[in-house]
Amino acid sequence: MRRLLIFFSFLFLFSLSGQLAAKQAHVKALRFWTAPDSTRLVFDLTGKTAHRVFTLDNPKRLVIDLKNSRKTRSLIQPPVNHGIISRIRSAPRNKKDLRIVIDLKKPIAPQSQILPPNKKYGYRLVVDLNHQVKTHYKTAAKVKAAKTKAKIKKPAARIVKKKKISPVKTVAYKQSKQLVIAIDAGHGGEDAGAIGPRKTKEKQVVFAIAKKLQRLIRNHPGMKPVMIRKGDYYVGLRQRMKIARKAKADLFISIHADAFKNRKVKGASVFTLSNKGASSEAARWLAKHENAADLVGGVSLDDKSDVLKTVLLDLSQTATRDASYEVAEKVLKNFRSIGKLHSHSVQKAGFMVLKSPDIPSILVETAFISNPQEERKLRSSRYQQKMAKAIYNGILDYFQYSAPAGIRMAKATTHKISRGETLSEIALQYGVSMKQLRSLNKIPGNKIRIGQVLSIPQG
Ligand SMILES: [Zn+2]
């Protein structure tokens, strides 16, 4: 009997220690995304774990302590020319814990959170490094020196300040009346968006289209493009609206590629914000799909209620909605000339990015990436250019009738050649033939040079 008891307690202890070992979280991989003003590190974990993040000076480094964790694979290192991170290293700590040290080139302000599993990933530790830090990392001596300096300079500084009050006129004069078009390439970074049968990522093809649209708009006199994301990193949905507002955008265009279970489904569609969320089952499904991006990207939704309040209260929203609908119709009309449409009328859905109360906003689903033929098209530079051109023409059509006061729409008459452009691309961009372009500019072959200014055939 006693022997049996010992056996059972041994068994109990054994299983307990087994459970403890199983609970240890493994750091499987590291992914990181660099935005202009921040870097996001995502550590894939096998389970939830307690963590802390803090910075140390001399040399500058960020320390990430993970409780009861270990690393199962070596972590990816940033490229040598990375602006912020020079090296990532790690070591076990207190037998059971893991310490990850990020050597830094510049001071940063860290923010971290553990994200619960979603469809695609398990638990993740997300660490955001904000690059815009000026006051951190001052050594005591430096702080003292700075204080003394400030004391000495104070009286002089005050006088300068008084003198420097400049008339507001200067600012007003400098502001040119340009139409600002916010171009929002969907998804990015950790959030790949929809994935095609050949593993094409939505985030990549929509970014390519966005870049082509950017070039078209930049080359149009009186218009200015603003890219919401400038590379492969995630931007929160509300942050996208904020960036557009900060740039004083006159229009917001969100570019996506659609996906559906049935691979035969194809065609482009254009969305505006619905009155009461989604207006149909399909649209509701889509709204869910696109809005899920924030969950994937793991962005905090702190400002949710405030924005929502603004959205609900702002009466100007009705006007914005009408304008959005008009732009959407013009873009849809231009899509019709390229190929099959998924829906022939403007669709409405509750996409978060469309909720700016004062900026007309549309969301374009360029094609179905889940359809093998359309996936192939989306990968081709030529088709991407066609899509960009159709959106661009739609924007022009809209502003021909509804340009804000003081802005006159002009058709581009010249084009300055930048690196990597070809004559056929430029012809496609302006909807003119190669022959017209050649004869007007007296170009015998295809030879063009960077900086050369071409006249664009009119009419
Ligand atoms: Zn999308």
User: Which residue spans within 239-335 are E strands per DSSP?
Assistant: 251-258, 269-273
Asked whether the predicted pLDDT for residue 181 surpasses 70, the reply is yes
AA identity, residue 133: V
Distance 84 CA to ligand 1 centre (A): 30
Sole residue written with tokens 């702080």: 143
57 and 190 in a single domain? The answer is no
188 and 50 in a single domain? The answer is no
Distance 318 CA to ligand 1 centre (A): 25
Is residue 332 classed exposed, middle or buried when 0-12, 13-18 and 19+ CB atoms within 10 A define those classes?
A: buried
**pLDDT tens by residue, 111-128:** 888 888 887 788 889 888
Distance 204 CA to ligand 1 centre (A): 11
313 and 355 in a single domain? The answer is yes
Residue that terminates a domain, selected from 361, 380, 402: 402
Under the banding of pLDDT at 50, 70 and 90, the label for residue 341 is: confident
Please give the model's pTM, rounded to 2 decimal places.
0.59
- Of 24-28, 311-315, 380-384, 394-398, the range with the lowest mean pLDDT is 311-315
Q: What pLDDT is attached to residue 270?
A: 93
The HSE-up count of residue 431 (CA atoms within 13 Å, CB side) is 15
Does the residue 318 lie in any domain?
A: yes
Distance 378 CA to ligand 1 centre (A): 13
Does the residue 320 lie in any domain?
A: yes
Distance 454 CA to ligand 1 centre (A): 36
Q: What pLDDT is attached to residue 211?
A: 97
Distance 350 CA to ligand 1 centre (A): 13
The secondary structure of 195-262 as a DSSP string is B-TT--BHHHHHHHHHHHHHHHHHTSTTEEEEES--SSS---HHHHHHHHHHTT-SEEEEEEEE--SS
Dihedral sign from CA coordinates of 427, 430, 432, 436: negative
Distance 257 CA to ligand 1 centre (A): 5
386 and 420 in a single domain? The answer is no
Mean pLDDT of 204-232: 95
CA distance 201 to 369: 8
Asked whether the predicted pLDDT for residue 157 surpasses 80, the reply is no
Does the residue 98 lie in any domain?
A: yes
Mean pLDDT of 167-196: 72
Report yes or no: 378 and 255 within 8 Å, Cβ to Cβ.
no
Does the residue 249 lie in any domain?
A: yes
**pLDDT tens by residue, 262-304:** 899 999 999 988 765 433 334 444 555 565 544 434 333 333 3
Residue that terminates a domain, selected from 361, 378, 402: 402
Does the residue 269 lie in any domain?
A: yes
111 and 256 in a single domain? The answer is no
Report DSSP state, residue 24: S
User: Residue 84 belongs to a domain with what CATH number?
Assistant: 2.60.40.3500
Does the residue 167 lie in any domain?
A: no
Distance 47 CA to ligand 1 centre (A): 28
Task: Measure Cα distances from 140 to 40, 96, 104, 145, 412 in Å.
Answer: 29, 35, 20, 9, 57
User: How many Cβ atoms from other residues are within 10 Å of residue 175's Cβ?
Assistant: 8
Distance 235 CA to ligand 1 centre (A): 13
354 and 429 in a single domain? The answer is no
250 and 327 in a single domain? The answer is yes
- Of 32-46, 103-117, 165-179, the range with the lowest mean pLDDT is 165-179
Is residue 275 classed exposed, middle or buried when 0-12, 13-18 and 19+ CB atoms within 10 A define those classes?
A: exposed
Distance 70 CA to ligand 1 centre (A): 35
- Of 3-12, 99-108, 119-128, 256-265, the range with the lowest mean pLDDT is 3-12
Under the banding of pLDDT at 50, 70 and 90, the label for residue 404 is: low
Distance 194 CA to ligand 1 centre (A): 6
441 and 391 in a single domain? The answer is no
Distance 343 CA to ligand 1 centre (A): 17
Asked whether the predicted pLDDT for residue 351 surpasses 80, the reply is no
Distance 342 CA to ligand 1 centre (A): 15
Our CA angle for 290, 292, 296, nearest 5°, is 120
Distance 218 CA to ligand 1 centre (A): 24
Q: What pLDDT is attached to residue 300?
A: 35
Does the residue 2 lie in any domain?
A: no
| Average pLDDT value over all residues in the chain | 76
Under the banding of pLDDT at 50, 70 and 90, the label for residue 389 is: very high
Domain of residue 348, residue span: 177-402
Distance 119 CA to ligand 1 centre (A): 16
- Of 65-79, 165-179, 351-365, 387-401, the range with the lowest mean pLDDT is 165-179
Under the banding of pLDDT at 50, 70 and 90, the label for residue 89 is: confident
Distance 186 CA to ligand 1 centre (A): 5
Pairing of strands 414-416, 69-71: unpaired
- Of 127-131, 215-219, 222-226, 387-391, the range with the lowest mean pLDDT is 127-131
Structure tokens at 394: 């739609």
Asked whether the predicted pLDDT for residue 395 surpasses 70, the reply is yes
Distance 226 CA to ligand 1 centre (A): 19
398 and 419 in a single domain? The answer is no
Distance 163 CA to ligand 1 centre (A): 52
Q: Which residues, by Cβ under 5 Å, contact ligand 1, an ion?
A: 186, 193, 256
Distance 295 CA to ligand 1 centre (A): 13
Distance 406 CA to ligand 1 centre (A): 35
- Of 71-85, 224-238, 247-261, 357-371, the range with the lowest mean pLDDT is 71-85
- Of 113-122, 166-175, 230-239, 362-371, the range with the lowest mean pLDDT is 166-175
Mean pLDDT of 341-348: 85
Report yes or no: 271 and 346 within 8 Å, Cβ to Cβ.
yes
Three-state DSSP at 307 gives helix
Our CA angle for 302, 307, 312, nearest 5°, is 145
- Of 68-77, 228-237, 241-250, 414-423, the range with the lowest mean pLDDT is 414-423
User: Residue 208 belongs to a domain with what CATH number?
Assistant: 3.40.630.40
Distance 184 CA to ligand 1 centre (A): 11
Distance 293 CA to ligand 1 centre (A): 8
Domains in the chain, number: 3
Distance 195 CA to ligand 1 centre (A): 10
Distance 259 CA to ligand 1 centre (A): 8
Percent of the chain with pLDDT over 90: 26
297 and 334 in a single domain? The answer is yes
Distance 315 CA to ligand 1 centre (A): 29
Asked whether the predicted pLDDT for residue 191 surpasses 60, the reply is yes
Of the candidates 244, 458, 459, the residue with the CA atom closest to the CA atom of residue 358: 244
Distance 82 CA to ligand 1 centre (A): 28
Mean pLDDT of 223-250: 92
Distance 313 CA to ligand 1 centre (A): 28
Does the residue 38 lie in any domain?
A: yes
Asked whether the predicted pLDDT for residue 75 surpasses 50, the reply is yes
Structure tokens at 382: 């030529």
111 and 229 in a single domain? The answer is no
Distance 210 CA to ligand 1 centre (A): 13
CA dihedral 237, 122, 39, 310 (to 10 degrees): 20
The HSE-up count of residue 236 (CA atoms within 13 Å, CB side) is 14
88 and 216 in a single domain? The answer is no
**pLDDT tens by residue, 18-63:** 444 457 888 988 888 888 888 888 888 998 888 888 888 888 889 9
Sole residue written with tokens 């022997």: 3
